[in-house]
Amino acid sequence: MKVSIYSNHTEDSNRVSDLIMKEINKTNIEVDDDNPEVVITVGGDGTLLSAFHHYAHQIDDVRFVGVHTGHLGFYTDWRDFEVGQMVDGLASDNGQKVSYPLVCVDIIYQDGSVDNFTALNESTVKKIENTMVCDIYIKGELFERFRGDGLCVSTPTGSTGYNKSVGGAVIDPSLVGLQLGEIASINNRVFRTLGSPIIVGKDQYLDLVLNTDEQLIVSADNLQAHDMDNKKKIAKIHYEISPHEISFARYRHTSFWKRVDEAFIGGIK
């Protein structure tokens, strides 16, 4: 078993990382930051997202385990006082995992070049100034012309994040697909959009065709996929479910709906 410890390097996370190393040194587990089988993240959801993007090039060969420090994280299953129990699970690992879908984000520029990203939670598109105008295509067919502040495309697990804050639905990750959420759309007697989230299946894809030469900001999770420093003009952005998935080691993996309950309702029964 080869593992890597990926930390946000706060004082508390450094302390927990040291505890994990002490427990690992009692076993035959090997620390390998280049080719780990399991990545242990220490911090919160932001740390796990950073670790995911760091190891995205080998996503099919790694699983993740999250230890949270401070506030409860949506993807993190373990607390600092449970480190010994977690390492015991690693030592007796049998390869069990639970996997969640990812979204491919392809930014196609007017000069024909393409930037490719993969997101675990969501990708957003926003205009720096004025109203963003774009045509939304679903599986190659024009659906509507959007006007507003921006758009959010999320995965089922990412539906509890920024998507939820813009009025999107929370989707069970067993329903593999994409959700398109509007950010402050313009709706009046002249300009109309559907005005509600759109959910498409895994065999569908979305194209956002931009009708502007002005600068846009595109994100992929916590990464800026396109920002003000990039002077290239975007022609369209293509979204589809990735052929790859993110996997979590299933030593004590909390179910999706239990996570939702604990994160937003507080476990009230």
Which two tokens mark 108?
A: 């196609």
122 is in an annotated binding site: yes
In 69-185, where do the E strands start and end? Answer: 97-109, 114-119, 122-127, 132-138, 141-154, 177-185
Residues 130 and 254 in one domain: no
Residue-range definition of the domain harbouring residue 213: 102-242
CA distance 207 to 188: 24
Same-domain pairing of 27 and 106: no
Same domain? 9 vs 69: yes
Q: What is the pLDDT of residue 188?
A: 86
- Residue 111 counted as an annotated binding residue: no
Best CA proximity match to 66, nearest among 58, 56, 74: 74
User: What Cα–Cα distance (Å) separates residue 213 from each residue in 106, 109, 237?
Assistant: 18, 11, 14
142 and 65, same domain (yes or no): no
Q: Are residues 30 and 90 in the same domain?
A: yes
Specify whether 191 is located in the same domain as 228. yes
Task: Tell whether 164 and 86 lie within a shared domain.
Answer: no
Both 237 and 106 in a single domain?
yes
The reply to whether 211 and 197 lie within a common domain is yes
**What tens digit of pLDDT does each residue of 191-237 get?**
888 889 999 999 999 999 997 777 889 999 999 888 767 778 899 99
In DSSP terms, which residues pair with 130 in a beta bridge?
A: none
How many angstroms separate the Cα of 214 from the Cα of each of 133, 174, 234?
A: 11, 38, 9
* From 45, 77, 207, 221, active-site residue: 45
Residues 108 and 223 in one domain: yes
Q: Has 93 been annotated as catalytic?
A: no
Domain count, the chain: 2
CA angle 81, 87, 89 (to 5 degrees): 115
Q: Is 55 annotated as a binding residue?
A: no
Spans of the chain below 70 pLDDT? 70-72, 228, 253, 267-269
The answer on 126 and 86 residing in a single domain is: no
184 among the known binding-site residues?
yes
Residues 109 and 207 in one domain: yes
CB proximity list for 80: less than 8 A, separation 6 or greater: 12, 15, 16, 19, 67, 69
pLDDT given for residue 191 in this prediction = 87
Residue 237: the pLDDT is 97
CATH number at 23 reads: 3.40.50.10330
Give the CATH number of the domain where residue 207 resides: 2.60.200.30
Q: Is 144 annotated as a binding residue?
A: no
Q: What tokens were used for 262? A: 């604990």
| Residue 14 assigned ligand-binding role | no
